[in-house]
Amino acid sequence: MTDFAFWITAPGEGAIRPVEVPGPGPGEVLVRTLHSGVSRGTETLVFRGGVPENQHATMRAPFQEGDFPAPVKYGYLNVGVVEEGPAELLGRTVFSLFPHQTRFVVPVGSVTVVPENVPAARAVLAGTVETALNGLWDAAPLIGDRIAVVGAGMVGASVAAILSRFPGVKLQLVDANPQRAELAAAMGVGFALPADATGDCDLVVHASATSAGLTRSLELLAVEGTVVELSWYGDKQVSVPLGEFFHSRRLVVKSSQVGGIAPARRGRRTYADRLATALDLLADPVFDALLTGESDFAELPGVMPRLTSGELPALCHLITYPSGA
């Protein structure tokens, strides 16, 4: 059958192209996409051609076709319904790490059933919530901690949404954009501009992907505090003041990346376990605040440049597919 997929045809340009989808074989499923999500951070970086050459292999999405910078079919937030496959999956709503495409075939093990109490549109956030979950496994917050999340983008907001339910923490979401105060309020979290943020933090989770954000994260730490770095900088250079208070206060900068399970849970949790936990967390409607725009699939070639330029100031932009596409 002929279906359609979104391709980045050149840096800053995209098009919808036809694709031939075969019938599923043994151990495979045919999925019809209901929604996909555009993560404004990583996907717009890929769209503008900002993946460093030495990271081309690391940055490959599980079902990517083509190579960076272009032409490439890229994406990893997909929710659809199983049309063909094992009887126990027929008609079930599933999440997968597949790009923007109307129908596709993948192995059974590459889809995760969406819980019935999680709406299909909200479920596109599963990949980002999984990143936030892994980051918090790395961070290991404690009851009563003073915590700042610097950068109220999609990943930072997901971290804050999870921590907002963590008992006893004193939490603030920090961002240079004052409009993010509305997002924080929707999640029941305190908000501060960088200059107004409260210091003496035990833990700071940084997700702004800016040198200024990382610098401010270090400034907010208490003695022997830790910054967990969740930003992906792509080809940008980062400069931070490691010659000032960094050593005297014995501060820590710790990286976290969703490509590997956090050491604190490695050996006891599989990737499937982690994704299933992320989907369970999405039963909380607080995550609806991260869905900040919606377009039809046919509009995606025009939407991506606007997301990349910031004309559409989205967190996760929802792409909706025609029924029976």
Q: What's the whole-number mean pLDDT along residues 126-154?
A: 96
Question: Mind giving me the DSSP string for 280-315?
Answer: HHTTSGGGGGGEEEEEEGGGHHHHHHHHHHTSS--S
Domain co-membership, 87 together with 154: no
Question: Mind giving me the DSSP string for 183-235?
Answer: HHHHHT-EEE-GGG----EEEEEE-S-SHHHHHHHHHTEEEEEEEEE----TT
Buried b (16+ CB within 10 A) or exposed e, 93-121: bbbbbbbbbbbbbbebebbbebeeebbbb
Q: Does some domain include residue 325?
A: no
Could you tell me the pLDDT band of residue 325, with boundaries at 50, 70 and 90?
Answer: very low
Percent of the chain with pLDDT over 70: 99
Domain co-membership, 121 together with 135: no
Residues in Cβ contact with 12 at an 8 Å cutoff, skipping those fewer than 6 apart: 47, 48, 49, 305, 308
Domain co-membership, 141 together with 108: no
| Total domains, the chain | 2
Q: What's the whole-number mean pLDDT along residues 197-204?
A: 98
Nearest to 100 by CA among 43, 58, 52, 49: 43
Residues in Cβ contact with 280 at an 8 Å cutoff, skipping those fewer than 6 apart: 115
User: What is the spatial distance between Cα 31 and Cα 105, in angstroms, rounded to a whole number?
Assistant: 6
* Residue 275 DSSP code: H
Q: Does some domain include residue 263?
A: no
- Specify the pLDDT at position 39: 83
Q: What is the CATH number of the domain that holds 10?
A: 3.90.180.10
Q: What's the whole-number mean pLDDT along residues 176-181?
A: 96
Q: Does some domain include residue 205?
A: yes
Q: Tell me phi and psi for residue 257, to 5 degrees.
A: -145, 135
The pTM of the full predicted model, rounded to 2 decimals, is: 0.91
Percent of the chain with pLDDT over 90: 89
- Specify the pLDDT at position 2: 85
Domain co-membership, 190 together with 242: yes
pLDDT digits (tens, 9 = 90+) for 86-114: 999 999 999 999 999 999 999 999 999 99
Residues in Cβ contact with 147 at an 8 Å cutoff, skipping those fewer than 6 apart: 141, 163, 169, 170, 171, 172, 201, 202, 203, 204, 205
Q: Does some domain include residue 160?
A: yes
State yes or no: pLDDT of 232 exceeds 60: yes
Domain co-membership, 166 together with 115: no
Domain co-membership, 249 together with 290: no
Most confident of 102-111, 234-243, 250-259, 306-315: 102-111
Write out the residue range of the structural domain in which residue 168 sits.
131-255
